[in-house]
With several copies, the nearest count.
Chain A
Amino acid sequence: RDGLATYCLMLGDDALVLSHRLSEWTTRAHELEDEVALANIALDLLGQARMLLSRAASVAGDGADEDSLAYFRDEREFRNVRLVELPRGDFGRCVAGLLVFSTWRLAVLSRLTRSADPVLAAVAAKGVKEVTYHRDYAARWAVRLGDGTEYSARRLHQGFADVLPFVPELFTPHELERELARQEVAVDPAPLRPEFDEVLRTVCTTAGTELPEVSTVGTLAGGAGRHGVHTEHLGYLLAEMQSLARSDPEARW
């Protein structure tokens, strides 16, 4: 049961942290329509995070709830992949990151709809529809940027250069994911890599861009986001996100 709770945290934290980063675009995007779209995606991911954190809390059964998990865990207890922590960057980075994340997550969620855990299966089923839209949004923009101006193609390329180093981590299962995958509760991401590569290849061909060659960001004694080993960016994000909730722990909102 602890394993299931932790697995829910992994997928939930991915959504929570990326939702935070996307919500930073509010009042900062190039067009109102895209502010609306990015806020929508942030809201979808926030919704997924809430369901997954609530599920983690109810499975653990230790009196936690979505808010205590979101606001009162420290950085080392967060289980998200590092990709989602990267600072907002420009719109090229945003598009590249969202394309990578949603392509990967869609591959995971679409398998997770067959999870032995009915709640996870239901969350995944809802998520598949949402993340399909996210991926399409990102893919459409990747094409516009790649096929737009020389400058926009360069920004997209740089965006990929910034996020691709974090891709191998997405397909490196934590021991727990492998264990739960054997029980048909979780999805082992490793075999999904070809599907992911294929989607990216298709988008890049349409966009007339090539993915840059990059080095992989290293781990710490094999540990990365899923083990609570994060980038230095996450601490600042959490300091901001948790500041008010922690300023008055007795308060209910």
Chain B
Amino acid sequence: MDEELHEHFTRTIERDQRVEPRDWMPSGYRRTLVRQIAQHAHSEIIGMQPEGNWITRAPSLRRKAILLAKVQDEAGHGLYLYSAAETLGVDRAELTDKLLSQKQKYSSIFNYPTLTFADIGVIGWLVDGAAIVNQVPLCRCSYGPYGRAMVRICKEESFHQRQGYELLMTMMNGTSRQREMVQDATDRWWWPSLMMFGPPDGDSPNTRQSMEWGIKRHTNDELRQKFVDMTVPQAEALGVRLPDSGLVYNPERGHYDFSEPDWDEFRRVLEGNGPCNAQRIERRREAHRDGAWVREAAAAHAAKQQQRGREAV
């Protein structure tokens, strides 16, 4: 019986069909998915903070509306993803606890501070850009609910990416101070964006298994290369310099060569020592703590309502 189920699962994967919540799946597959989806959901939620940092200071009402809507979309993405994770038998409160107790991670990119409004544009351009490169293949993820959530998310992310790029275009056509802000923000976010694809393939032991399971479709280095190739012409169109003297087109490979990111910094941030790790987690803990009485009130009211309903019968 067990073997039969396993074979069915393997065939589903091989034929590029979708595994659905009620289907049997190996526990490793389930665990990997839960971890990945949760981390992805947490990233959406924590990712609200660096951008949220500029909502009250956005320099025009139009930009304020765009930014507020974007941050709101991220909360929405978090909600879809927590729902997708719930189809695997975990619940959201449990995942929230794991985020707050730092037993689950979120994307390290959000541990960097947003220091100027140009960061909002650059996050749209580079960070959402990198996220899209990472996520488009996930739309074909073997696990149905995750793949379908990604379709919706990718659509909105592309929209955000265009808005970010458009902000940068506007700023590059603005005052010299605005152009300097864009260059400065690009300098700060370029390397962290490259790190978003994870460690080099040689240091990414789980990649092979994830690819076999149809969760991942490309290696970290493949995706990183894709992102660089895509981004260089965008930077040129923008008139911004990417901060890597090793970045040159290699006609033999048909790709851009580029320098290694500082993987020590990557590891330090991952281990909790980035510029904003403590602040990001503390903000969520504070919201959770300060909101406990509200959640309790809602639960108490719901229970009373149910009780009243029963008594009325």
Chain A contacts to B: CB under 8 angstroms: 16, 20, 23-24, 26-33, 35-36, 39-40, 42-43, 46-47, 49-50, 53, 66-67, 70-71, 74-76, 90-91, 143-145, 147-149, 151-152, 155, 165, 215-221, 229-232, 235, 239-241, 243-245, 248, 250-253
Contact = CB atoms under 8 A, between A and B. Distances in A.
7 tightest CB-CB pairs across the interface, nearest first? A30-B291, A148-B297, A152-B297, A39-B72, A30-B294, A245-B59, A218-B274
Interface stretch (B112-120, B122-130, B248-256): B112-120
Given A24-B56, A49-B61, A220 B275 contact: yes
Contacts of A23: 55-56, 64, 68
A147 to B, nearest CB: 5
A221 B264 CA distance: 10
B144 interface: no
B61 A46 contact: yes
Nearest to B78: A32
Which residue among B56, B291, B300 has the maximum number of chain A CB atoms within 10 Å of its CB? B56
| Chain B interface extent, by class | 35 or more
B209 interface: no
17 contacts: A35-B72, A35-B75, A36-B76, A39-B68, A71-B59, A76-B115, A144-B297, A147-B301, A151-B293, A218-B268, A231-B275, A231-B276, A235-B115, A239-B57, A241-B56, A244-B59, A253-B117
B79 interface: yes
Contacts of B290: 28, 30, 90
Given A32-B75, A53-B61, A216-B273, 10 more contacts: A24-B56, A27-B284, A28-B283, A28-B290, A147-B301, A217-B273, A232-B50, A251-B59, A251-B174, A253-B174
A31 to B, nearest CB: 7
B53 interface: yes
A32 B79 contact: yes
Contacts of A47: 65
Given A76-B116, A215-B273, A40 B72 contact: yes
Contacts of A235: 53, 57, 115
B113 A155 contact: no
Given A26-B71, A250-B175, A220 B112 contact: yes
Contacts of B116: 74-76
B269 interface: yes
B287 A27 contact: yes
Given A149-B300, A220-B188, A241-B57, A39 B114 contact: no
Nearest to B63: A253
Contacts of B117: 244, 253
B69 interface: yes
B179 to A, nearest CB: 10
A242 B296 CA distance: 38
Nearest to B82: A32
Nearest to B79: A32
Contacts of A49: 61
A69 to B, nearest CB: 9
B68 A43 contact: yes
A230 B114 CA distance: 9
B111 interface: yes
